[in-house]
Chain A
Amino acid sequence: MLTENGPKVLEYNVRFGDPECQCIIPRLTTDLVDVIECVLAEKLDGCALDIVDGASVCVVMAAQGYPGAVVTGAEIKGLNADGQLDGAPDVQVFHGGTARTKDGRLVTNGGRVLGVTGTAATLPLAVTRAYEAVERISFSGAHFRRDIAARALKRRRI
């Protein structure tokens, strides 16, 4: 927490934060296997991480009822057979709670259904890419925040 008395630690996590991970990892260009091996070999001091300049924005599309008890089984429309958006190379759709029915339909299966990440050279463009992608995806009861990155946009340097 960035307080008026300086930064204070709220808590520690001991794994990749979620959905932060969905926003950060797409900007990592170093081979993740190499990175993990550096950690396991205790040779992280010789390991440089390459991060693409720019910004990523991840908009979570949640199921009806989230963060309480959620409705599952709603059909998700707009995604291809791999669960991705066609014609959107700078967008990744990370699935949080999805399943395939026996007849191959993609349906909701959890609270945080999809994390739609747009990556771009600038923050405003990343926001636009993420939200344009979100508008192409639909399922009954879907809801998402429309102000992701609003604070960062206000004080933007990227």
Chain B
Amino acid sequence: MLSRLLGVLLLALAFLLAWTSGSHAQSGEEYYSRLSLVQKARRSAQLVQGLLTANPVVQRKFYVLGQTWTVQVTHKSDSRGRPPAMSVDPSGSKQESQILYDFKVTAIDAQNRARVEVTVRDALPASPVRHMALIINDQFVVVAREIHYGDGRGMRRIEFGSDANVALGFDAYPIELPDLATAGAELAREVPRAVRPHLRGASERIVDFSFDDLFGRPVRALWADGDGWPLYYENTAFTAVLVKRSGGLP
């Protein structure tokens, strides 16, 4: 009888412990330390926000009809999907895949918003997306994107706010822009090697943006004065380099 009572008490204690600990799945100390980190980050972000007017500003002109440019994307390799101790066959390919995306301004409406069509030059193997379109306002904020599929599905249009760009990632197309108004920025001191062949000249003025995407992941973008698209954009999935500007460039 006593042992049964003891058993019930132990079980109740186990449930009680689980219940109370459930509100702090990570240890209490860890929980408060993380709260403290987020609070500090929030306060420092508010502080930085007040200083942003000192940021260098990209000298840019809005798009003109017919303007075109090309962006080359190199995907990063990621081995997260494979078992940790898995060895690879040395006969495998080490070639990095590089994909070219062509951009063209096909319309500008009365509100000074440009429609930019984006096509991939060599279709991505087995991707159902045929091409995309971006609607960009005169503050260089992407206010909508359209996904056009090649498999008979209807077009999908996704709306965004018109005040600021939000980087999301999770897309094969290099279609995101830094938030020119609020992203942390400074004049670029050096540029990645992949960008150098595509500079207009050594004296080109370039602004270097560092910011986080919606999920807190780091993003970097370089934007040269006069361009309609970043010279360089790096997120967790790829690097994208502006390799050709032509047709209607202001």
Bound together: no
| Chain A residues within CB distance 8 Å of chain B | none
Interface residues in chain B, defined as those with a beta carbon under 8 Å from any beta carbon in chain A: none
